[in-house]
Chains A and B, each alone.
Chain A
Amino acid sequence: MSGLLDRRLLLVTGKGGVGKSTVAASLALRLASAGLRTLLCEVNADRRLGRMLGHPGVGPEVTPVEPNLSMVDLEPDAAMREYVLSKIRLERVYRAVFENRMVRYFLRFVPSLAETVMLGKVMWHLRQWPDAPGGFDRIVLDLPATGHALTLLGVPQSLVSALPSGPMSTEAGWMLDLLTDPVITSAVLVSLPEELPVNETLELAQALRSRLRVRVGAVVLNQSVESRFGKADLSALASRPGLTALVQTYEEDARRSEEAVERLRAIDAPLVQLPRLVTPEVGRGELVSLGDALAEGLR
């Protein structure tokens, strides 16, 4: 067995509003229910996943929330301190440099520093042996939207290429090794049956492959609609304007889903279609059934 669910690190990303968090939560619930100790991470996201799963108190500390499931909402300040202090060699320097008022002001203006330390925290957990105390079999990372996700994932690579050899370059080096190892890490790209999200998914897949060398493990088409009616059905509805309009609207949605599927097939990775939900809220029941649909689709 060597499917997506066997990867230790799942990076869930896509355009804003496509349902990344829903997919990440569904995956994590599914993995945890299969008996795998799972860490679900979100990145400075206002505890969104915590609220979705009914654990609104989860903050920047890794917190066990259910059997086999822990959660964390990565925050730059907390991660910064933890990450830099975890480097024994830098502890002395941390106080001298990073607690300097001037430096703190300066650091607020560094675009990718927050990303570095937050990614570092995730990678630290990934690096621990799963069977170590508090270790995790699986880590699901709910990444920000495309642009920010690429910035975040690109950090180790730019550190490796920009730094002379030394402790930080070594850190970035193993982070890069883990991110680019297809046995360990897979990206899950979430999309919607609309033109712009599909465009962005294709660009994202390209950037992950060629620029960051991160394996794309699956493409998830969220809110997908399957065709139900043919031309013959429509002619059977000739004198029924309400139903005709209904079928046309529905089939238009189905056509868009098909078109999206066709375009997304250009990405060399399994494609899973998740059905469109019509419930007023996405609750645990919906997340569990989406998780089942994902596992089924990835079999």
Chain B
Amino acid sequence: MNGPSLEEVLRHRRVLVCVGAGGVGKTTLAAAVAMRAAALGRSALVCTIDPARRLANALGLTWLGNAPTEVSAEVLAGAGIRLAAPLQNRFYQTLSTALAGSQEYIALERLGQLRDRSDVQLIVLDTPPTAHALDFLDAPSRILDFLDNEAARWLLDPALRASRLSLRLAHWGGGVAAKTIGRIIGGDTLEELAAFLGAVSGMNQGFRERARAVRALLASPETGFLLVAGASPERREEALRFHAVLGDRGLQRDGVVVNRVQEQPPASAETELEGLPEPLRGALARTLGEARALAERDRLSVRLLRDGTAPVPLVAVPRFPSEIHDLRALWRAGSYLLGEAAIL
């Protein structure tokens, strides 16, 4: 493998951001990464801004809220995973239940806060399944752009901190402008936004500093990006585009994970067809042909991804016979991430 391996990344990174299209298994792999980092002796926190409760599903928890929650040592032990003693209390995750649309801001808030915690050595950030999966990267700049703008400063005038922004909006331009905007965007939305901006303006300076810090953090040497890709043709092209975007922005590309790769049936399978009666033989031959075609398709995808993303380390994680929704399966997925097991 060229460059640093994923194990190096897990050992030394401060922040690891998992990016990729919706449905490729980002959340699951983010959980696997954090678990393996914890097992390597680091306190790891995995944070998702996905409104669905998938991370909780993956970790076998029934509930996750906005506050970091501990996965108990008993749960881990029950799944056959033993962690070194000091780590038992340090495997945290958090789930933001922010409303759609505010997710990116809330995520930044969380990332900013979490980063300041001295008890967390690695933050693994799972990103939301947006149509444009990399919008997230622009959130700090958008916020700073907004806060530093003359117009926005007026809107968020410190003198107004005590008053409700919605009131201010209602008086804006004799109310016509606010009313018109309200009519286009919906009164409740306007209220929501006003409340959000009101909250922001109340902590304007701190917020600005955090947004700046987060923007710096995303670009800093402490932070790396793990691109999660699927092996299907559509997924492959998408992943190559994401990879290019990350590079264009000068962000650190720590690794590419191709998830759910179909493996070839053994070479002996064709010989085994000999002497079998029809129609069983025909059905088997057809099934075998399809399985080979699928595996070949995935092999081609992995090769194209490897060529397109070199020298960034790439690992392929095979499709598991059943879905990953317990800790044991997560651990197994992790063995491919760390090169303890490998395909292709």
Contacts and interface: CB of A to CB of B under 8 A. Distances in A.
A78 interface: no
A133 interface: no
Nearest to A111: B101
Nearest to B27: A196
Interface string B261-291: 0000111110011001100100110011011
Interface stretch (A61-69, A273-281, A289-297): A273-281
A249 to B, nearest CB: 7
A16 B54 CA distance: 13
Interface in B225-244: 230, 233-235
B174 to A, nearest CB: 12
B85 interface: no
Nearest to B129: A16
A278 B294 contact: yes
A163 interface: yes
Contacts of A163: 182-183, 186-187
A196 B297 CA distance: 24
A251 to B, nearest CB: 10
B340 interface: no
Interface in B94-110: 99-102
Nearest to A229: B283
A97 B181 contact: yes
Contacts of B291: 246, 249-250
Given A163-B186, A242-B268, A145 B325 contact: no
Interface stretch (A5-13, A43-51, A121-129, A207-215): A43-51
Nearest to A278: B293
B67 interface: no
A43 B22 contact: no
A151 B188 CA distance: 13
A112 B146 contact: no
Given A103-B177, A249-B321, A279 B293 contact: yes
A233 interface: yes
B315 interface: no
A107 B189 CA distance: 11
A17 B180 contact: no
Interface residues of A, number: 70
A34 B187 CA distance: 43
B233 A282 contact: yes
Interface in B310-344: 321-323, 325
A106 B155 contact: yes
Per DSSP, are chain B's interface residues mostly helix, strand or loop, or mixed? helix
A15 B26 CA distance: 14
Nearest to A243: B272
A147 B51 contact: yes
B131 A280 contact: no
A5 B321 CA distance: 37
Which among B51, B130, B234 has the highest number of chain A CB atoms within 10 Å?
Answer: B234
Contacts of B180: 90, 93, 97
Contact of A282 (B57, B234, B272): B234
B84 interface: no
Contact of A148 (B131, B146, B184, B197): B131
B211 interface: no
Contacts of A111: 99-102, 189, 192-193
A113 interface: yes
A109 B197 contact: yes
Contacts of A231: none
A228 B283 contact: yes
B244 to A, nearest CB: 13
A183 interface: no
A126 to B, nearest CB: 20
B168 to A, nearest CB: 12
B170 interface: no
Nearest to A83: B184
Given A102-B152, A102-B155, A151-B101, 12 more contacts: A112-B185, A145-B131, A151-B100, A169-B183, A229-B280, A236-B276, A241-B266, A242-B265, A278-B290, A279-B293, A281-B233, A282-B233
25 contacts: A16-B21, A16-B22, A17-B23, A17-B24, A44-B131, A97-B176, A102-B151, A105-B146, A106-B181, A108-B142, A108-B146, A112-B189, A113-B185, A147-B52, A147-B100, A151-B100, A151-B101, A162-B186, A196-B54, A237-B272, A241-B266, A243-B269, A280-B300, A282-B233, A282-B234
Interface of A: 15-18, 43-46, 84, 90, 93, 96-98, 100-103, 105-113, 116, 144-148, 151, 155, 158-159, 161-163, 166-169, 194-197, 200, 228-229, 233, 236-237, 240-243, 245-247, 249-250, 252, 276, 278-282
